Amino acid sequence: MSESQPESHPETAPSATPSTALEAPYSHLPAATPPSATPKQRSTVGPIIAALAVGALVGGASGAGVAVWAVSSSGTATQSGTMTPQTVTIDNTHDLTAVNAVAAKASPSVVTISVTASSEGGTGSGVVLSADGYVLTNNHVVTLDGASSTGTIEVTTADGHIYKATIVGTDPIVDLAVIKLTDASGLTPMEFGDPESLKVGDQVIAIGAPLGLSNTVTDGIVSALDRSISIASSAVPSDGSPTDSGSSPFNFGFPGGTSSSSSSSISLPVIQTDAAINPGNSGGALLSDQGKLVGINVAIASTGSASASTQSGSIGVGFAIPSDLAKRVADEIIATGSATHGLLGATVRDATSADGSLLGAVIDSVTADSAAANAGIKAGDVVTEFNGAPIANRTDITAAVRALAGGASAKLTYVRGGSPQTVTVTLGTFH
């Protein structure tokens, strides 16, 4: 449901340019050749920052002059630091901090992903789902920001092993994908946590490969919950051709930026954190202070240039897809090759003062025989809550509906004529 567009239509970019640009932290670099030296096998207890794949996700975070994008690092950058896995050793367990403990526990379950296709290449991060090599990451990582679905994928584990990998399935609707490592065994699966238990101010730790620096760990707090952002879609065109001759399809909607050949956008429910997330962190882990996965890093906000080639790094505003949504999608992809998403069957827009004194998403029209119509929702209703989450605008309702599987039921609260009403909606399936 594109809550600023008809829910029955594919999501397209909002006509208004958001003031905040979203970057998917994915390191988009020219095709790179792997190092000649073979990484040594190590027992790594190393740092763990959810590596966000850099691809520019454009979105609806608030803040004048702030760009929010999937972090993509440009082509001519060089790196002089070591890229090999590094062991974290804790000498004095009496001085152990939460970050030390989480890094030691979770870093073996975070991998670095390298993708090349033609003259393009990029690096991102991923989270191990199974001992035999299923790995969860962002769709924009494995498709090089929507440029290709047939790239060559190599995955480096925390102990220095390198595996070839293939795509099991992608889900551009929520920017997630599952890949499978070839002939892998004995990997350490990530332990999932409950993002619903998070509170604003809780400590979180990110592990990933910013700028290609594998096993990087950063920490911060949960800055906000129940956020939603609108970012460019990384869906590969049906004919399989690149979207824009090597340019990231996420580079649109930035103040002063150029538009891209990609005209569609997606809405995501996210956790906001101030843990440092940079290009290359996409697809990596956001962890609780117990070392459990609470999110998959997907985007950052930036006050830098609107161009992906000159984008700046972390300013302390990062976003992660909640782990419960990520797990549902991953499980469905592994089982069937794809995941489903809810459909409300209505067009929506942001509420204004002309609609009353409440923030919300205003129903513009309702499709006949849709989930909205069957629940008695009508044009003019202002949706203020969905599935227990507050709704402040069209992005919120789209993200909340898409987060659920097709056919799922949820409580929806709307205001009509000044009176709130709550109904149960059985969603359709978004195609």
Q: Which amino acid is it at 375?
A: A
Would residue 132 show up in a list of annotated catalytic residues for this protein?
no
Angle at 364 between CA 360 and CA 369, to 5 degrees: 110
Contacts of the segment 364-371: beta carbons below 8 A, 24+ positions apart:
365/6, 367/6, 367/7, 367/8, 369/345, 370/7, 370/8, 370/343, 370/344, 370/345, 370/346, 370/428, 371/342, 371/343, 371/344, 371/345, 371/425, 371/426, 371/427, 371/428
Going by their DSSP bridges, the two strands 67-72 and 22-30 should be labelled as parallel
Of 145, 159, 175, 274, which residue is the catalytic one?
175
Of 4, 8, 109, 140, which residue is the catalytic one?
140
Q: Which amino acid is it at 355?
A: D
Residue 390 DSSP symbol: E
Reference 23, options 274, 293, 271, 311; nearest CA is 311
Sequence-distant (≥ 6) Cβ neighbours of residue 35 within 8 angstroms: 83, 84
For residue 208, the cross-strand partners are 216
Would residue 248 show up in a list of annotated catalytic residues for this protein?
no
Would residue 324 show up in a list of annotated catalytic residues for this protein?
no
Going by their DSSP bridges, the two strands 428-429 and 203-208 should be labelled as unpaired
Of 234, 282, 314, 323, which residue is the catalytic one?
282
For every residue of 161-226, which 3-state class applies, written as one string?
CEEEEEEEEEECCCCEEEEEECCCCCCCCCCECCHHHCCCCCEEEEEECHHHCCCEEEEEEEEEEE
Q: Which amino acid is it at 423?
A: V
What are the distances in angstroms from CA 259 to CA 98, 253, 269, 332, 385? Answer: 43, 7, 24, 33, 33
For residue 332, the cross-strand partners are none
DSSP string computed for 295-325: EEEEEEEESS-SSGGG-----S-EEEEEHHH
Strands (DSSP E) contained in 60-161 are 67-72, 110-117, 120-128, 134-137, 152-156
Q: Which amino acid is it at 119?
A: S
Burial 387-397 (b: 16+ CB within 10 A, else e): bebebbbbbbb
Which residues form the catalytic set?
A: 140, 175, 282
